[in-house]
A and B are shown apart, each in its own frame.
Chain A
Amino acid sequence: RKEVEQDPGPFNVPEGATVAFNCTYSNSASQSFFWYRQDCRKEPKLLMSVYSSGNEDGRFTAQLNRASQYISLLIRDSKLSDSATYLCVVNMPSSGTYKYIFGTGTRLKVLA
């Protein structure tokens, strides 16, 4: 089982749609969680950190479910500019320290 798993997509959605991505992680002792956005041939950019109580930033909502070991990202009212790859990142224990584990990303295409 991969340490962090994402559905690679692509998710093709029309403008204005609501889309949700999930990301599962293997280690229940993971301590912090993030969603990044990566545009083609660019660096990952932090979209939002994911907190236990859930958090929202405009059209974006992130949730953490520790019992089922997954995080989610909900995008409402999708824009063409939301087309990108969304990376899930989990900070989990490893050899006495912590390491960031990246998912392979979920591709989103928002269609006009």
Chain B
Amino acid sequence: NAGVTQTPKFRVLKTGQSMTLLCAQDMNHEYMYWYRQDPGMGLRLIHYSVGEGTTAKGEVPDGYNVSRLKKQNFLLGLESAAPSQTSVYFCASSYSLAYEQYFGPGTRLTVT
């Protein structure tokens, strides 16, 4: 099992460009999450999904959109990238809200 995978691993964008980050999991988990991690701060939840076709806002959703068309995939979109979105993005999945989360390897995004 691959667990949780993310593509791409690295990306550099110019301000105003758009991109989509892909997360895939093969553990048949219902719950999936997108986080960002910045120096000196804990992981902060951007959006999450409690099942196929559902999405919900997390702590820092502005500037991001998500979609969960298939149970195994969770996409994070940046419509118009800003330097403040320079960060490391982690996807995670879990069996339910009370269970442990499993993380993907992360995407390092730099917006210039």
Contacts and interface: CB of A to CB of B under 8 A. Distances in A.
Question: Chain B interface mostly helix, strand, loop or mixed?
Answer: loop
B90 A4 contact: no
A102 B99 contact: no
Nearest to B48: A99
Interface residues on B, range: 10 to 19
A32 B99 contact: yes
A108 to B, nearest CB: 17
B2 interface: no
Interface residues on A, range: 20 to 34
A104 B99 contact: no
B43 interface: yes
Interface in B8-45: 33, 40-43, 45
Contacts, number: 43
Given A42-B106, A43-B90, A44-B103, A105 B97 contact: no
Interface in A49-94: 49, 87, 89, 91
A31 interface: yes
A104 B105 contact: no
B110 interface: no
Given A42-B106, A43-B90, A32 B45 contact: no
Given A32-B98, A43-B105, A99-B58, 8 more contacts: A32-B99, A43-B103, A43-B106, A49-B100, A98-B98, A101-B42, A102-B42, A104-B40
Interface of A: 4, 31-32, 34, 41-46, 49, 87, 89, 91, 97-105
